[in-house]
Amino acid sequence: MSTLVLANGVTIATEARAERVWFDREFLLCQLQDGRIVSVPISWYPRLRDASPEARENWELIGGGRGIHWPALDEDLEVGACMVGCQEDEVDDHNEKV
């Protein structure tokens, strides 16, 4: 199980793992390995919001699905952060890389 530390000091344990990622006009959507689908507003992640559709579609799973990486954008998202509704600035910079 991974632990996510929020900027406000709250710690959350999560075992969410992504399987598939896609976008619509307003949302980043992520299908988890257990079948759930999580969506978050793309506006929460400025690099993704401002990226071309091609750059957004160039993603890879990291940490066994615990994270999503966009190589062309140098952007990483923790799946657990998306699940609990954390925006980019709400995750503590001291979390271990997935």
Asked whether the whole model's pTM tops 0.85, one would answer no
Mean pLDDT of 69-88: 84
Residue with tokens 């952007």: 75
Query: Considering the domain boundaries, does residue 42 fall inside one?
Result: yes
Token pair 């657990």 in the structure block, residue:
80
How many domains would you assign to the chain? 1
Q: Which amino acid is at 12?
A: I
* CATH number of 54's domain: 3.30.2020.40
Q: What are 9-45's pLDDT values in tens digits?
A: 655 546 789 999 999 999 999 999 999 898 999 999 9
Report the percentage of the chain scoring pLDDT > 70.
71
Q: Is residue 8 part of a domain?
A: no
Q: Tell me if residue 53 falls in helix, strand or coil.
A: helix
Residue 84 lies in a domain: yes
